[in-house]
Structure 1
Amino acid sequence: MTQASQGPAEAGGGTTWRVLFAEAGEDPLTACKDAPPLTEAISEAARKFPSACWKDVEDGCQREVGKLMDLSVERVLFDGWMKLERFKKCVEESKARPDDAFFQDLDDHKIASTHKPRIELRYGAVKVADLDFEIELALKVKGVRLEVRGGKVVCATAGIFAASAKLSLHDSVLVEKGTPEFSAPTRIRFS
């Protein structure tokens, strides 16, 4: 009965934002699952279905909300780095010589990304309601060296990171969380 429309940054392997926050001690979605704006919106949407379906609709919505942070950290990083001219040049050069490794050192920087997933509720073929979310993600990155081969980031070496996320539903902030700074593993592999 529920269907999620995901954006282009779905996790297809690699590290998700959920895992990133879990390693820092808390999944932001756990903090928001009982937030009044969310529970009220889900209950209101469920009431548009026959009463026998309400519990299934509510449970389905909660399951889909649980997937909202399953976005690829690597994809957000790569998309952010592609906005840097010197990184674009490195990627283009690596495409011309795919067997060679190219390295790009990056100064301290911040990468921000906004995603607008929607949970669409249907009764048969009829659309009954939408739950429109906005997820604002940001990574502060210090001292990272990227290895690029064949137009793709193969790995990032060292670096200090800090992450933040804000999840909103229909303009109501459900949760806003940040991680403390943390050292990246010696090498971060990109899938």
Structure 2
Amino acid sequence: MKQIFQGRETEAGKNLLIENLDQQTLDSIKQSYKEEKGSMLWGDLSDEIKSRASELLNIPLPDLLIRAWRESGVLNKYINREEYDPEAVVIIELKEHTMISNHKPYLDIEINQKSIGKINFEINLELIVQGIILKIQDAKIKQIRTGNIKASGTINCEGHEIGKKESEEVDFPGTLDLGEGIPIAP
């Protein structure tokens, strides 16, 4: 997801999430922090919160795609080992399709094993995927090839939109070999 919302990271525009993290949310945690008498300086803790919030976007694109394919059931017929011999390799092309992916990560801030606040995020993505070719064997995705993706999405923090982005069309980089494969159904 990081590629979608941030593109290439630069020091100047490092992260939309960090730049727009709701000050009111941080002020509430700051007050709880003072009451608990934390040993770090508030500025250091605030920087750490922003850094950890940035890490919420560290979900690789293939993981998003596979999760969406699982949830939609588009590949479920390949689970049937009576119809699809586990030794046989099936190559399928997924023509243009739209995938919706929603995530609700959060940060729980603790001092001395006591929670002083929780920051809730909601990340909503729409992916338009074209021309992806999958190699399937033994009810597992073994390889993802070619295609392109266009994405749009929003990031909300505590109910407030803090980021919105639409990507250019991105070519999927050649072939992604998934080794032993990722099961179509968990």
TM-score class, shorter-chain normalisation, is 0.7 to 0.9
TM-superposed deviation, 1:164: 2.0
State the distance in 2 between where 1:189 and 1:139 align. Answer: 21
Contact 1:94 1:149 in 2 (8 A): no
| Mean Cα deviation higher: 131-140 or 41-50 | 41-50
Contact 2:125 2:151 in 1 (8 A): yes
Contact 1:138 1:164 in 2 (8 A): yes
Amino acid across the alignment from 2:105: P
Q: Does 1:64 align with 2:49?
A: no
TM-superposed deviation, 1:47: 2.2
State the distance in 2 between where 1:29 and 1:119 align. Answer: 20
Q: 1:165: which partner in 2? A: 153
Distance 1:86 1:162, change over 3 A: closer
Distance 1:26 1:136, change over 3 A: farther
Q: 2:16: which partner in 1? A: 31
Q: Which of 108, 133, 152 is equivalent to 2:121?
A: 133
Contact 2:68 2:99 in 1 (8 A): yes
Q: How does 1:147-158 map to 2 (within 5 A)?
A: 147-158=135-146
| Mean Cα deviation higher: 173-182 or 37-46 | 37-46
TM-superposed deviation, 1:61: 0.6
| Mean Cα deviation higher: 45-54 or 117-126 | 45-54
Contact 1:146 1:153 in 2 (8 A): yes
Contact 1:118 1:132 in 2 (8 A): yes
State the distance in 2 between where 1:110 and 1:86 align. Answer: 12
TM-superposed deviation, 1:25: 4.3
Q: How does 1:58-137 map to 2 (within 5 A)?
A: 58-93=46-81, 97-137=85-125
TM-superposed deviation, 1:86: 4.9
State the distance in 2 between where 1:19 and 1:109 align. Answer: 20
TM-superposed deviation, 1:113: 1.0
| Mean Cα deviation higher: 26-35 or 42-51 | 26-35
| Mean Cα deviation higher: 90-99 or 142-151 | 90-99
Query: Where does structure 2 lack aligned partners over 5 or more consecutive residues?
Result: 180-186
Distance 1:187 1:165, change over 3 A: same
State the distance in 2 between where 1:29 and 1:92 align. Answer: 46
Amino acid across the alignment from 1:166: T
Runs of 4+ residues deviating >6 angstroms: none
Query: Where does structure 1 lack aligned partners over 5 or more consecutive residues?
Result: 1-16
State the structure with more CA Rg.
2
Amino acid across the alignment from 1:18: K
Name the TM-score, length of structure 1 as normaliser: 0.77
State the distance in 1 between where 2:71 and 2:82 align. Answer: 17
State the distance in 1 between where 2:122 and 2:100 align. Answer: 13
State the distance in 1 between where 2:80 and 2:61 align. Answer: 22
* Aligned residues between the structures: 173
Encode CA deviations 1:103-140: one digit per residue, 9 max, x unaligned.
22212101111111111112212211110000112211
